[in-house]
A and B are shown apart, each in its own frame.
Chain A
């Protein structure tokens, strides 16, 4: 048997959509935390058996956490996210990432293009004793994540 072709996130790419078009932000983003979608379960027990009766519910919403390198200037994606987050009642920021890179035949995963809400935004800040790069972070909540393929 052959070993699977393991991949690192070295070539990963990321796009954002705040209006109707996707824009590459790979030059600004650093991390997409792998989101987990769960399906709730219920259980009950009966006297005649030693194992549980299992029921399953509907898939729960997904939180996608994205971290970026902050830069001054309105061209930085932080300000697009900030504008959507601070608009009354919130507005949409859809996230799309390709673990293997945005090249033909590679897979890409994206949050809903109609309902992807920024539910938290960590502003850029720093520590005088640190040389760390100033970062920011936001979390997008979406009902589902869809798979597509670069073509």
Chain B
């Protein structure tokens, strides 16, 4: 998310179709389930559709937007 907060990302264990974009996600994909209420996410995890992807690079928050300042150049 652009505000730097942590998203609710999960690793797909069984083939799913997300209602948000209607696309198919195969096992191994990392998806954002923030559109689902907590009880739904819990149901999907308990029934073997997902596992949490905590600690994986794909689950890290998006970086904060840059300020637009150019990086200082080297050797100049």
Contacts of A150 in B (CB 8 A): 16-17, 19
Is the beta-carbon distance between A113 and B24 smaller than 8 angstroms? yes
Contacts of B23 in A (CB 8 A): 21-22
Q: Which of B36-44, B54-62, B64-72 is found at the contact surface with chain A?
A: B36-44
Is the beta-carbon distance between B22 and A151 smaller than 8 angstroms? no
Is the beta-carbon distance between A151 and B17 smaller than 8 angstroms? yes
Is the beta-carbon distance between B24 and A110 smaller than 8 angstroms? yes
> Nearest-CB distance from B42 to chain A (Å)?
12
A151-B19 contact in complex given A104-B40, A105-B43, C-beta closer than 8 Å: yes
Is the beta-carbon distance between A151 and B24 smaller than 8 angstroms? no
> Nearest-CB distance from B17 to chain A (Å)?
5
Q: How many interface residues does B have (CB within 8 Å)?
A: 17
Q: Mark A30-42, 1 if CB is under 8 A from B, else 0.
A: 0000000000000
Q: What separation, in Å, do the CA atoms of A15 and B21 have in the docked complex?
A: 12
Q: Mark A68-97, 1 if CB is under 8 A from B, else 0.
A: 000000000000000000000000000010
Is the beta-carbon distance between A148 and B17 smaller than 8 angstroms? yes
Q: Which residues of A contact B (CB under 8 A)?
A: 15, 21-24, 96, 102-105, 108, 110, 113, 146-151
25 contacts between A and B (CB under 8 A): A21-B23, A22-B17, A22-B23, A22-B24, A102-B22, A103-B19, A105-B40, A105-B44, A146-B15, A147-B15, A148-B14, A148-B16, A148-B24, A149-B14, A149-B17, A150-B16, A150-B17, A150-B19, A151-B16, A151-B17, A151-B19, A151-B31, A151-B33, A151-B36, A151-B50
Starting from the known contacts A22-B22, A23-B22, 10 additional A-B residue pairs (CB-CB under 8 Å) come to: A22-B24, A96-B17, A104-B19, A104-B36, A113-B24, A148-B14, A148-B15, A150-B16, A151-B18, A151-B19
